[in-house]
Structure 1
Amino acid sequence: MSQGPAPRTLSDEALSTLLDHQQFGTLATNKRSGHPHLTTMLYQWSPDTRVLRFSTTADRVKVKHLRRDPRAALHVSGGDVWSFAVAEGRAEVSEVTTVPGDAVGRELLAMVPQAARPSDEDAFLKELVAERRVVIRLAVERLYGTALDIDG
């Protein structure tokens, strides 16, 4: 039986590009038992600061996990099933946005892609407050991943 090609380690630049071109990944946080808690998340990657940002609500279990243990990782699939990137680091959870247009609300608004910006920003900012939204900021300390070059 032929072994086929070995996985190719991706460079830091290639990994950053992969993160930049995708929108969804699987965020792993740590349960009190030590087992991972996995959840699919929409994210924003800032390659210059090496920070991943996620919008979520204050009552989510991942927020509770990260407040107790800030270690987290994001797994992102590449354009095919043969490539992936993992970003590991320490996360911080913002305060809840409490006043429409406060700093957290503005950060959440800035995370929305320009093409998808709400037509009524004031209503959007009020909705963020009503939903008790927070920002998870994952400061990436380590990036790794591979690609498998398979024809066909």
Structure 2
Amino acid sequence: MTPFYDRDAEIIYVSMTEGRAKTANLRRDPRAALEITGPDRYTWATAEGTVTLIGPGTEPDGPEVEALVDYYRRAAGEHPDWDEYRRVMVADRRVLMVMAVDRVYGERLR
């Protein structure tokens, strides 16, 4: 899981897979918390908010897959083969989690 945080919009994006427990739990209750731990393992931040799930897409050129393409571009840049990426997103039943951040807190212990 590679989260992408849009600071201006205060939104976190994460690509997930349909059929997993976390996806089912978010469909049932869209409240979420995402924790990021720093490389020193003492620094951490938690973001809390409400989630919207986009997808899974059924067509490589559909809007659900286009949202995943936008996420990838923002998080990692250009993909070497967008056609393959789109096919894999449909085959893997990928879902884009969009979390509107309501609260952020953390700690630096060292």
Please classify the TM superposition score into its range, dividing by the shorter chain length.
0.7 to 0.9
SS in 2 for 1:141: strand
Conserved? CA contact 2:11–2:98, under 8 Å: yes
Q: CA deviation at 1:101?
A: 2.1
For 1:56, give the aligned amino acid. Answer: M
Q: Which among 86, 89, 105 is matched to residue 128 of structure 1?
A: 89
Q: Work out the CA distance in 2 between the residues paired with 1:46 and 1:87.
A: 13
Q: Work out the CA distance in 2 between the residues paired with 1:94 and 1:103.
A: 9
Q: Work out the CA distance in 1 between the residues paired with 2:7 and 2:39.
A: 19
For 2:98, give the aligned amino acid. Answer: R
Which protein is bigger by CA-based radius of gyration?
1
Conserved? CA contact 2:52–2:97, under 8 Å: yes
Q: Work out the CA distance in 2 between the residues paired with 1:82 and 1:132.
A: 35
Q: Which structure has the higher relative contact order (CA within 8 Å, separation 6+)?
A: 2
Q: Which among 140, 147, 151 is matched to residue 101 of structure 2?
A: 140
Q: CA deviation at 1:57?
A: 1.5
SS in 1 for 2:41: coil
C-alpha offsets along residues 3-55 of structure 1, whole Å, 9 cap, x if unaligned? xxxxxxxxxxxxxxxxxxxxxxxxxxxxxxxxxxxxxx321111111111111
Structure 1 segments unaligned to the other structure (5+ residues): 1-40
Percent of residue pairs bearing the same amino acid type:
35
Runs of at least 4 residues off by over 4 Å: none
Conserved? CA contact 2:44–2:106, under 8 Å: yes
The 5 A counterparts of 1:24-103 are: 41-103=1-63
Structure 2 segments unaligned to the other structure (5+ residues): none
C-alpha offsets along residues 97-137 of structure 1, whole Å, 9 cap, x if unaligned? 111122221221222211xx332211211111111111011
For 1:60, give the aligned amino acid. Answer: R
- Number of residues of Structure 1 aligned to a counterpart in Structure 2: 107
CA RMSD of aligned residues (A): 1.3
